[in-house]
Structure 1
Amino acid sequence: MGLLSQGSPLSWVETKKYGDHVRQHGIIQFLHIYHKVKERQKDVLKWGDEVEYMLVSFDHINKKVRLLLKGGEILDMLQGSGEKVNPNHPTLWRPEYGSYMIEGTPGQPYGGTMSEFNTVEDNMRKRRQEASSLLSENESVCTVTSFPRLGCPGFTFPEFLPTPVEEGASRSLFFPDQAINKHPRFSTLTRNIRHRRGEKVAINVPIFRDQNTPSPFIEQFTNDKANEAVASKPDHIYMDAMGFGMGNCCLQVTFQACSISEARYLYDQLATICPIVMALSAAAPFYRDTSDIDCRWGVISASLTIDKEIYSQLTKEGIDHLLAQHIAHLFIRDPLTLFEEKINLDDANESDHFENIQSTNWQTMRFKPPPPNSDIGWRVEFRPMEVQLTDFENSAYVVFVVLLTRVILSYKLNFLIPLSKVDENMKVAQKRDAVRQGMFYFRKDISKAGIAAVDGCSTQNGMDSDPEEYILMSINTIINGKEGVFPGLIPILNSYLENMEVDVDTRCSILNYLKLIKKRASGEYMTAARWMREFVFSHPDYKRDSVITDRINYDLMVKCNQIANDLTTCPELLGVTGSKLKPSGSKTISL
């Protein structure tokens, strides 16, 4: 969850006074880093994943499940028995926005050898076991993207009431401040966003219109002193706190590139892949009720423009047009949190002001300069994936994306299309069942080099503005290929693997992961979002009214927990038990 400084947080009025100061010195800090390490080459290719978890409490007597507000307590114990006593501990744990959330990563980044793909799932399983071992009976660690009854009455344990008419961080009708992480950054961020806007966050997600859903669907609010009815749209689910976005879970991968040019190349290529993988990993169909979207991204995203003064400053300092444009996109933002102790910094050796702005830009890709005076290289963070129910699924998506970066770099592939088309793809990716129903702009010939950059914030040259170079394709065509149209990413990855020296166990693990991606893309296996919808719609208590009751939520989360802990099978999501590929001693196992 970005930068976590310690200190005395300033109010929005005080923070705003230093907005120009933070932006100016953030750019200076970036320039110091850039000039120091722009020529740095041959950093080792490293990568790592980040999995966000929710803690839940099951009430088996009353058939309820609630979010467990003890993330801080569990985090302290995990760090106390892990990295604080052993710097080589295999897992690392960090706080997240919700007080019911924690984030786990491998203790050390993975390297460039193929055999490391065979350790990802084991490490994810170890993280789940570590966290689970600290919980009491009837408590569990879950990897669900959106908790279905987040914001409904009594969704936390212990239960707290929202305080919409009292001074607090969010002043939400639905989301109590106690559900926000106790670290001062999170509540300050929440409060300052509200003060900066001059009003609360207003998120409207289209409701899924079922047979008995009221038409029009209009929410009724008690104690409506903030005129919520005006902010709430008909036929939409209304949410009034950033916890509805930041309180969801995701799966991320960060890559360290060998140089700045390689990092920029990966950033641009992967940006076009973001909506494809988002649709493939869709796992967020519920926001208090059943929605008509499958992904969380639209709940937390925001539109941007460019700060021309910052752009001019960067180009005068020798930053090329496209990288300057990218940084200028970020720095139109105000700093949303600031600590009194962190106002005046040594710009040559600290980067807090740069990270202050960088870490509050929620984009699908993040370009990350090295921290000052460190041995960490230029990095790229891939952020659009929804977290999956099982460690196997999460490993599959991570391995797929990491393998794709290997192929992009090895074959010098070109996925670039205009960013306006990427934006259109992002809108499609979030729609219900986009993996089967959506059509996405994608480049026809990915071996052909691009030309001039067009319409957007790329970090380097390579965009192709020729509309003949890209067409609308289905996810199935993009991932699995279609004769005469597109070769498919999975066949390309499979070809790459056949030419690599890989031990049999690792090869079979990789092929198992790619099999999941392949069958999700074809629709043979369901996405988590589709599976959850069908579970709810087939529940005997569901009234075809778009409402998820406590009992439906309980049964769904019990099932999710059983699947995640291998206590039951789910062929709709994962295939038939025993269908995993087995080592055969052959180098040419195919999908």
Structure 2
Amino acid sequence: MGCTIADRHAQFLSWKEILANQGDLSRLASEQCISLWNQYKHLDNYPPLWGDEIEYLIVSLDRQNKTATLALKQQDVLEKWEVYSQGRQMAFQLHPESMIFMVEGVAKPPFGDSIQAMSQVENNMRERRVAIQSCMGTDELPLTIPMFPRLGASGKFTSTGLMTSKRLYSHVISEDLFSHFERSKVLSDNLRARRCIIAEANVPIFRDANTAWPWKDDSVDWGQFKENTSLPLPTPSVNCVLLDHFAWSGGACGLQTTFQAKNLDEARSLHDQLCPLSAIMLALTAGSPCYKGYLVDTDSRWHVTNALVDDRTMEEILSKSGMEKNTVTSQMRWSFSPLYASHNDHIPKGHQSYSTGNAETRALFEEAGMDTNLSEFFSHMLKFDHLILDSKHLEPKSPSDTYHFRALIGSLWPDIRLKPPLDGTDPGIGWRVEFRPMEVQVTDFENAAFVVFMALMRRAISHFKLSLYIPMELVGENICRAVMRDAVNQSLFWFRECVLPQASGDSSSSYLSESDSKLTRGYREMEALD
């Protein structure tokens, strides 16, 4: 959800303005998707470079009173960074993030595929932290935890006061918390305007011997907030903490890794093999057990973000399909990637699940030469509406312009993202796959360990041609289990019994038999640490 320096000069359209042009935008995005595919489908022999992204909270410490609050100093840190980095040979870059108390550090140039390169990851992360720290005050620090535990809590949770008049869409969160880079603020406004209701996530409270039951979130006091909005108010659930603002999604920190593939076919295959790993790594890295100062009965930020960036209208929510279970669905912008992307003959029979992408769009892609799975994959993306659009790009600037397609997929957040090459800005960048479910850890050692593990896993997948396929609906079921409290120790996850290619590629394997139970189809429920 991060911002870029280019967003500083953007003039983003409101939802009303976008809606007036939505038909043309959808057509342009489809045409540009085909153009991009035609232009880059034959790219080959790209090196297996990779990199990571870490989001940091800017925290102010009051050592005398032993308290910590969020420091709203993104702009100050970025300005000092520009001075700090001038004339230095940096192995990373610093970018703005969604909220004014966050920044993001990105490895650049990317790491190579050697063991020596992997051994440099932790030191690179340490250098990032030192550099960010040098741009802060002596009583401030860059903190790497997924969610600030007192965001929105009663009392003071930021280092400076917030205007109560700016609490336009939340009972506790001010609009002042958005980054000065307007993208995230506009995105939040347009999400809300499309769904016509205020965002809402009711997170179950953790019950122990000292928790009154039934429990009520006593921070919910609508007060003046009722006068600031005409939208229906969220409904607090009993025994739940109410979260009603984009800040609890855009203000959460993740740990992402991006891998460059040799070509499009390898990127599609890598995307597929990482899908079944998503829930496992989410459970292994889960670190969000606290919201608004309360311990909750879940451990991950995933389901909270999933709900708070949901742009579906009530009608769309009520018409969701059968595979969409619990709070995680394939029809939401933040979700598991609901489709395998490889050619159909690479995917075991019965393991693919098809989206509700527009049939006309699928036909258009197939007519252009895409195979069935890839046309289905892209048509699923294109069924969503544009939510973020720079007014200067309302019309294409040239026949090769792909802004409208990229703007659309940039407002979708699947756990595994297939990323196309950039438009001529850097010919050294090919097809990439971004692995997005992991939560950031407290120490650089832990973050480096998870990042390097995923880099080694990518190498193992490619070298041994591993096949990790399980039915896509079970990938979604695994995500639902991964967000639960202590899921890494308490939950079972569906996984393949044998990942070697000669076993999983045999079309006569017993797991393809319709009469067999799941236990004899080549996958079963396993512990995350099996």
Q: TM-score, normalised by structure 2?
A: 0.83
Q: How does 1:469-508 map to 2 (within 5 A)?
A: 469-477=522-530
User: Is 1:46 the counterpart of 2:101 in the alignment?
Assistant: no
Seen in structure 2, the aligned counterparts of structure 1 residues 257 and 230 have a Cα distance that, compared at 3 Å, is closer
Q: Is the 8 A contact 1:164 1:172 kept in 2?
A: no
Q: Structure 2 vs 1, CA of residues 201 and 450 (structure 1 numbering), >3 Å: closer, same or farther?
A: farther
Matches within 5 A, 1:240-389: 240-288=244-292, 289-301=294-306, 303=329, 304=331, 305-346=356-397, 348-373=399-424, 374-375=426-427, 376-389=429-442
1:267-301 Cα distance to aligned partner (Å, 9 max, x none): 00001100001101111111111111101111122
State yes or no: 1:31 paired with 2:34. Answer: yes
Quote the Cα distance in structure 1 between the aligned partners of 2:19 and 2:194. Answer: 8
Please provide the CA RMSD for this pair: 2.1
Aligned 8 A contact 1:29 1:347 in 2 = no
Q: Judge conservation of contact 2:261–2:430 (CA < 8 Å) in 1.
A: yes
| 1:139-158 paired onto structure 2 within 5 Å | 139-153=140-154, 154-158=156-160
**Residues 20 and 391 from structure 1, CA distance in 2 versus in 1: closer, same or farther, beyond 3 angstroms?**
same
C-alpha contact (below 8 Å) 1:202/1:238 kept by paired residues: yes
SS at match of 1:109: coil
Q: Does 1:232 align with 2:233?
A: no
Q: Kindly, what percent of the aligned residue pairs are identical?
A: 33
Local SS of the residue matching 2:45? coil
Work out whether residues 198 and 234 of structure 2, in 8 Å CA contact, stay in contact via their aligned partners in 1.
no
Q: Which amino acid aligns with 1:135?
A: M
Q: Which amino acid is 2:108 matched to?
A: G
Shift, 1:360, TM fit: 1.3
Distance 1:366 1:122 in 2: 27
Q: 1: CA distance between counterparts of 2:87 and 2:399?
A: 32
Secondary structure of the 1:55 match is: strand
Which ranges of structure 2 fall in alignment gaps of 5 or more residues? 311-328, 332-355
1:306-360: per-residue Cα shift (whole Å, max 9, x none)? 2333222211211111111111221222111222111112354332211211111
C-alpha contact 2:357 2:380 (8 A) present in aligned 1: yes
**189, 192, 212: which one pairs with 2:210?**
212
The aligned counterpart of 1:221 is 221
Q: Which one of 397, 418, 429 corresponds to residue 471 of structure 2?
A: 418
Match of 1:399 in 2: 452
SS of equivalent residue, structure 2 residue 438: strand
Give the C-alpha shift of residue 398 in structure 1.
0.3
Q: 2:90 and 2:170 mapped to 1: Cα distance?
A: 39
Q: 1:80 to 1:313 in 2, by over 3 A?
A: farther
Distance 1:347 1:253, change over 3 A: farther
Secondary structure in 2 aligned to 1:473? strand
Task: Compute the displacement of 1:122 (Å).
Answer: 0.5
1:536 matched to which residue of 2? none
Q: 1:351 and 1:25, CA in 2 relative to 1: closer, same or farther beyond 3 A? A: same
Partner of residue 436, structure 1 = 489
Matched with 2:349 is none
> Quick one: distance in 2 between partners of 1:230 and 1:297?
20
Moved more, 181-190 or 350-359: 350-359
Secondary structure, in 3 states, of the residue corresponding to 2:203? strand
* 1:335 to 1:129, Cα distance in 2 relative to 1, 3 A: same
1:13 to 13, 16, 19: 16
- Partner SS, residue 504 of structure 2: coil
Q: What whole-Å deviation, never above 9, does each CA across 1:426-472 have from its counterpart, x for those lacking one?
A: 011111001110100000010123478xxxxxxxxx99987321000
> Deviation at 1:370?
0.5
Cα distance change of structure 1 residues 358 and 451 upon mapping to structure 2, 3 Å threshold: farther
| Paired residue type of 2:522 | E
Show CA shifts across 1:409-431 (max 9, x none).
00000101011001110011111
Q: Distance in 2 between matches of 1:404 and 1:175?
A: 40
Separation in 2, partners of 1:336, 1:173: 24
The answer (yes or no) to whether the contact 1:450–1:463 under 8 Å persists in 2 is: no
Contact 2:166 2:175 survives alignment (8 Å): no
CA distance in 2, matches of 1:474, 1:212: 31
Shift of 1:8: 1.6
Structure 1 residue 2 displacement after superposition: 5.3
User: What one-letter code is carried by the residue in structure 2 that aligns with 1:144?
Assistant: I
Preserved contact between residue 444 and residue 470 of structure 1 (Cα < 8 Å): yes
* Alpha-carbon contact 1:283-1:295 (below 8 Å) kept: yes
Q: Offset at 1:67?
A: 0.6
SS in 1 for 2:106: strand
Q: Is the 8 A contact 2:419 2:432 kept in 1?
A: yes
Query: What is residue 173 of structure 1 aligned with on the other side?
Result: 171
Task: Using the TM superposition, give the Cα deviation of residue 229 of structure 1 relative to its aligned residue in structure 2, in angstroms.
Answer: 6.8
For structure 1, list consecutive stretches of 5 or more residues without a partner in the other structure.
Answer: 453-461, 478-591
Q: Distance in 2 between matches of 1:150 and 1:115?
A: 40
Alignment map for 1:502-521 (pairs within 5 Å) = none
Instruction: Tell whether the 8 Å contact from 2:129 to 2:142 is kept in structure 1 after alignment.
Output: yes
Contact 2:55/2:254 (8 A) holds in 1: yes
Q: Distance in 2 between matches of 1:382 and 1:231?
A: 34
Q: Which amino acid counterpart does residue 104 of structure 2 have in structure 1?
A: E
Residue type of the alignment partner of 2:414 = Q
Indicate if the aligned counterparts of 2:202 and 2:242 stay in contact, CA closer than 8 A.
yes
The change in CA–CA distance for 1:185 and 1:351 in structure 2 (over 3 A counts) is: same
Q: Which residue of 2 aligns with 1:66?
A: 69
Closer/same/farther in 2, CA of residues 183 and 463 from structure 1, 3 Å limit: farther
CA contact (8 A) 1:143 1:249 kept: yes
Q: CA deviation at 1:107?
A: 2.1
The CA deviation string for residues 352-404 of structure 1, in whole angstroms up to 9 with x for no partner, is 21121111112111000111224110000000000000000000000001100
Q: Give the aligned residue type for 1:221.
A: D
Equivalent residue, structure 1, for 2:461: 408
Aligned match of 2:348: none
Q: CA deviation at 1:15?
A: 1.6
Q: Give the aligned residue type for 2:18.
A: T
Of residues 53-62 and 377-386 in structure 1, the stretch that sits farther from structure 2 once superposed is: 53-62
* Change over 3 Å in CA distance of 1:296–1:463 after alignment to 2: farther
TM-score normalised per structure 1 = 0.75
CA deviation after TM superposition for structure 1 residue 23, in Å: 2.2
